[in-house]
């Protein structure tokens, strides 16, 4: 677990692929438990306010609050879409140019999956993202493309669902594409920008992915 930044109100941490953000499964480690233990070892109150999540197979930047007040403020920022989130994604196929997806997604709680639905469906929520094509890659698994995705809404599995529905499933995505043994889905939360919940400073953090799947995109990410 790599701490990217910490003060009295927040922790910004790098989550490894394969670790859940939070889980109720006994014996399975998750980021909330790891961070609570980290605070407890420093003799601090082990409060962790979770304000957003990353899917278990996804790596990248995770922001948590150290106080209830900071958590409430950051949660409001999330609801009002005032936190900027960007992701690297390696997708199957070759999008020809930069683009955007606007769909309506419905969440199926029983299967823990989401799917494209109708705008008229009262259970569906608007999902909007934009993306930039960064690099085309030829691999033994076919043609792949590295894209930089900016989320404008934060829906369940949004990037994975929308790219798959539009014909470009994420590489090694066992839920919405094709599993690849020994690989996690090629998705990384690479940039997070937000206003600090206490001092109002603009905070920005960026990382590059280290997951096995992204080794195929070494030329761009080096």
Active site residues: 55
Q: What is the DSSP string of 49-96?
A: EE-----TT-EEEEEEESSHHHHHHHHHHHHTT-SEEEEEEEEES---
Cα separation, 8 vs 10, in Å, equals 6
Cα 73 to chain centroid, rounded: 20
Place of tokens 């980021």: 31
Rg of the chain over all Cα atoms, to the nearest angstrom: 18
Q: Give the position of tokens 């936190």.
A: 83
How far, rounded to the nearest angstrom, does the alpha carbon of residue 104 sit from its chain's CA centroid?
19
Q: End-to-end distance of the chain based on CA atoms, in angstroms?
A: 22
């Amino acid at each position: 677990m790599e701490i990217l930044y910490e003060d009295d109100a927040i922790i910004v941490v790098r989550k490894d692929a394969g670790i859940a953000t939070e889980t109720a499964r006994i014996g399975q480690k998750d980021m909330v438990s790891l961070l609570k233990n980290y605070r407890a070892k420093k003799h601090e109150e082990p409060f962790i306010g979770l304000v957003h999540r990353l899917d278990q197979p996804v790596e990248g930047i995770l922001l948590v609050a150290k106080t209830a007040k900071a958590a409430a403020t950051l949660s409001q920022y999330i609801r009002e879409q005032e936190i900027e989130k960007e992701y690297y994604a390696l997708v199957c196929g070759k999008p020809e140019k930069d683009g955007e997806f606007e769909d309506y997604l419905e969440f199926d709680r029983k299967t823990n999956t989401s799917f494209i639905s109708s705008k008229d469906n009262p259970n569906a929520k608007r999902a909007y993202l934009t993306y930039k094509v960064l690099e085309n890659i030829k691999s033994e698994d076919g043609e792949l493309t590295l894209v930089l995705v900016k989320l404008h809404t934060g829906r369940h599995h949004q990037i994975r669902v929308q790219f798959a529905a539009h014909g470009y499933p994420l590489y090694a995505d066992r839920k919405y594409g094709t599993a690849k043994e020994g690989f996690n889905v090629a998705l990384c939360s690479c940039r997070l920008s937000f206003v600090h919940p206490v001092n109002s400073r603009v905070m920005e953090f960026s990382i590059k992915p280290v997951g096995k799947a992204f080794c195929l995109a070494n030329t761009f990410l080096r």
